[in-house]
Amino acid sequence: MNVKGSAVISTIDFVNDKFPKQYNKWLDSLPPTSKDILAGNILPSMWYPLKESFIIPTQKLCEMFYNGDSKGAWEVGRYSADLGLKKFYRVFLKFGSPHFLIKRASSIFSLYYENSKIISSKEEDKLAILRITEFQEPHELVESRIAGWIERALELTKGHHPVVRINKSLAREDDFTEISISWN
C-alpha cells in the first residue's frame, strides 16, 4: 500500500519543526529503507510505501518524543492537516465548512492513501460518523494520524471544539474503522 508524498513530507516537517535539535537523531534511528526515502527528494504528488515512509517514521517519533504514546501520531495528523490543507489542497478550505469536508471525505482520503475507501455512514447537524472500509495495511498509528487530521481539518473549516473518537478499528480486527466526529 502507498501513501502520498505530501503525507510523508508532513512527517519530516513535523519533526524538523517541533524537535529540530533531535531531527538527525530521529532520521538516523530509522531502518535504511525508511531513512533513504525520507532523506531523499520527496515529491508531494508521488506515492511512497506506507510502512517504510509513514508507519515506521511515525512509530519512531512516538517512541522518541512521546514516550511511545500514539498521541504523537495524532499530533502529526493535526500538523499534516495544516500543511496539506493550507499548502497542497487549499480548495477544501476555500469552500470549507465541516459538512463540505465530510461530504468530500472519500475524495480527500484517496488523495493520501492509495487503494483505500472511507464513507460517511451518518451525517447530522454537528455530528458525523466516518468509516474506513478498505485499507490494505491497517495500523493504529495510521488511524490516529487520520483522526488527528480530521480534528484539525474541522477546526480549519470553522468546526469549533471538535471531538473525534476512534470507536472501531481495522487494526484491531474490526470490520471497519469507525471515527465519530462532533463539533459546536
Each residue's pLDDT tens digit, 124-148: 889 999 999 999 999 999 999 999 9
- What's the pLDDT tens digit per position in 137-178? 999 999 999 999 999 989 988 889 999 999 999 999 999 999
pLDDT of residue 94: 62
pLDDT tens-digit readout, 40-98: 999 999 999 999 999 999 999 999 999 999 999 999 999 999 887 776 556 666 667 88
At which residue does the C-alpha cell 466526529 appear? 181
- Identify the pLDDT of residue 98: 84
From 3.10.450.50, 3.40.920.10, 3.40.50.10070, 3.90.1520.10, which CATH number describes the 95-182 domain?
3.90.1520.10
Q: What is the pLDDT of residue 95?
A: 63
| pLDDT score for 89 | 59
Which phi and psi angles does 46 have, rounded to 5°? Answer: -90, 160
- At residue 87, the pLDDT reads 66
Residue 170: all three cell numbers together = 481495522
What ranges do the domains of the chain cover? 2-74, 95-182
